[in-house]
A and B are shown apart, each in its own frame.
Chain A
Amino acid sequence: MTGFILKRLASAVPSLFGVMVLTFVVSRAMPGDPAAFFAGPAATPESIARVRAQLGFDQPIVWQFLDYITDLLHGDLGLSFASGQPVLDDLMRRLPASMELTLLALVIALAVALPMGILAAVKPGTWIDHICRGSTTLAAALPSFFIGLLLIYVFYFRLGWAPSPIGRLEIWYSSPAEVTGFYTIDALLEGNFETFRAAAAQLVLPALSLSLFALAPLARMTRASMLGVLNAEFITTATALGLSRRTILINYALRNAMMPMINIIGMVFSFLLGANVLIEQVYGWPGIGSYAVEAVLISDYAAIQGFVVIMAVIYILLNLIIDITNTIIDPRVSHDA
């Protein structure tokens, strides 16, 4: 198993390297002069040149890249222009917020999409199939930012059910002591149900908006892979041998359909982390997505690079988890590897 993991990790290295090169190039192509920014508004051309030398920006581009890679390998993602803090600290502080939101959205989406896709596959061509198809197509057509605003209008402005859509907790609550970084879980660990309720209430609308985005691919993939498996010969065998419908659906069909579904769930998770950007913007969520938007808008390139590298690492780890899960589900995978 260790060998398998190492092999998979090694195969991710070229991708990771490619991501770094691309990020580096894109960020250097950004308009704006970071040296002028750091030197401050009263800087003279000399002081700007000095800052530039300090930052290493007077070096040839290849050296700058090597420096960048070296720093990266030491876990140094540079300083953010905007916050003046190390980018890694900024990101690590904000990552749990994004993770909490994304995971909840994924759980909501799965809770709806899995039963829907399975039912649609079990009864193809019936009304439940049409409802599944229609509603997922509609969900896929909903811009997350628009739905976010619509939910705010309805549940906050009209009905008054939701708390004000700004951040992870309303200002009169203090955040729970950090253990996992997930406010809901940390509040529960503290035994503080009031804070838990408040944090959960803040989460609901953004998580719902985000989950709509994931609904369509998940439900469709579930339907497609279930349908594929249900038409497989071994399902005919199981039926001919008189196994119960329950056993056939759960032990035979669903387990076989899991493999493509696990892959899609992984893909959807990383898509969601990206789609977060707009939702975090709408709900004032202090996650890495809104951090990235701000960084892009002011050409804060250490921050952009840092964000992209973190996302790429998450993406690679995610793929590793998917591979390992597949090995556990499907005996053929580890046999081939």
Chain B
Amino acid sequence: MTRDLSQKRPSGLRRVAGNLAFILKQSPLTLFAALIFAGLVFVAIFGPWVVPYGPLESSANTLQPPGLQHLFGTDHLGRDIFSRTLVAARIDLGIAVAAVAMSFAGGLILGAIAGYWGGWTDRILGRLSDTIMAFPLFVLAMGVVAALGNSIWNIILATAIINLPFYMRFARSEVNARLGAGYVEAARLTGNSRMQVLCLHIIPNILPPMMVQISLNLGWAILNAAGLSFIGLGVRPPTPEWGIMVSEGAQYIISGEWWLFFFPGLALVLAVFSFNLLGDGLRDLLDPKGRE
């Protein structure tokens, strides 16, 4: 005999597992994205060891169209585009992950402070993020790289800066929304300091929704970094990187050698596409009510 509905609810973990199964069944796209993502991570880690040619290894076979010997063809220096595209995964993903990690950490801390303490701190930090967002973000990133110098590290920093306000606002509103929650009140009343309440009770609760933001953001960060190297900032040739490879390949479009720009561009699309799909899937997982 059931007396109480709440007692019969599945536990948190089982509910998440149930939701996961539900989502994968509902949207095979998410499964597809997870597979691509796994492949990308594999390539990013093991790429240099599994590719058939060295990414910088040139040969006399220049501008070969895709074929059995060179799956994606060769470029103007006779380098194997398949190998270069695979090896580039590490640097592109690396930049994106590092940048997003930085803006996540920075945004979480600043946003949590603004949301929790309010008042002047909140107002100043709010103005700061308004100011950053008033810029055309890509141009701001360009400016930062140009000002600080043309290096991978500065690309990461620039990408982190332009993403910062989104995390800050997000963390701020999430913290703010939880201030009145019962468990926060309870934690405060049982004698926890403000810092303890924030770090032990509020932040752990806003991490799941922020994870969604992260996976959606990774794709954007990759696009940004690739865009910067496309216009000649940041990563420099001959380093294999998708943005540069597209940019180098662009010159050969009007002579019909499409494979130079196409394959690295396609890799970029696949990577961003899978991140975005995963982000959507993750959101459905954490917030079953988000989609009707």
Which A residues are closer than 8 A to B by beta carbons? 14-16, 18-19, 22-23, 26-27, 29-31, 124-125, 130, 133-134, 137-138, 140-146, 149-150, 152-153, 156-157, 227, 231, 270-271, 273-275, 277-278, 281-282, 289, 292-293, 296-297, 299, 304, 307-308, 311-312, 315-316
Given A124-B292, A304-B143, are A145 and B227 also a contact pair (CB < 8 Å)?
A: yes
Q: Which of B131, B132, B230, B273 contacts A278 (CB 8 A)?
A: B230
7 tightest Cβ-Cβ pairs between the two chains A and B: A274-B136, A18-B131, A141-B273, A146-B265, A141-B272, A29-B147, A296-B146
Number of contacts between A and B (CB, 8 Å)? 146
Q: Mark B249-277, 1 if CB is under 8 A from A, else 0.
A: 11001101010011001001110110111
Q: Which of B132, B142, B254, B291 contacts A157 (CB 8 A)?
A: B254
Question: Which residues of the other chain, B, contact A29 by a CB distance below 8 angstroms?
Answer: 147-148
**Max count, chain A CB within 10 A of own CB: residue among B147, B233, B268:** B147
Q: Which residue of A lies closest to B222 (CB)?
A: A143
Return A32 CB to nearest CB of chain B, in Å.
Answer: 10
Taking a contact as CB atoms under 8 Å apart, the answer to whether B276 and A137 are in contact is: yes
Taking a contact as CB atoms under 8 Å apart, the answer to whether B277 and A26 are in contact is: no
Taking a contact as CB atoms under 8 Å apart, the answer to whether A26 and B143 are in contact is: yes
Given A145-B230, A277-B142, A304-B143, 7 more pairs with CB closer than 8 A? A18-B134, A22-B135, A137-B277, A138-B269, A143-B230, A149-B250, A304-B146
B144 within 8 A of A: yes
Taking a contact as CB atoms under 8 Å apart, the answer to whether B134 and A137 are in contact is: no
Q: Which residue of B lies closest to A134 (CB)?
A: B29
For B, the interface residue count at a CB cutoff of 8 angstroms equals 52
Return A30 CB to nearest CB of chain B, in Å.
Answer: 5
Question: Which residues of the other chain, A, contact B254 by a CB distance below 8 angstroms?
Answer: 156-157
**Max count, chain B CB within 10 A of own CB: residue among A134, A278, A315:** A278
Complex: A335 Cα to B142 Cα, angstroms: 42
A and B contact pairs by CB, cutoff 8 A, 8 listed: A16-B134, A144-B227, A157-B253, A231-B292, A275-B138, A296-B142, A297-B233, A304-B146
Question: Which residues of the other chain, A, contact B231 by a CB distance below 8 angstroms?
Answer: 277-278, 281, 293, 297
Within 8 A of A (CB), among B215-237: 219, 223, 226-227, 230-233
Taking a contact as CB atoms under 8 Å apart, the answer to whether A137 and B137 are in contact is: no
Taking a contact as CB atoms under 8 Å apart, the answer to whether A125 and B292 are in contact is: yes
Within 8 A of A (CB), among B109-148: 127-128, 130-132, 134-140, 142-144, 146-148
Question: Which residues of the other chain, A, contact B127 by a CB distance below 8 angstroms?
Answer: 14-15, 18
Complex: A130 Cα to B27 Cα, angstroms: 9
Q: Which of B132, B147, B148, B219 contacts A141 (CB 8 A)?
A: B219
Complex: A261 Cα to B148 Cα, angstroms: 37
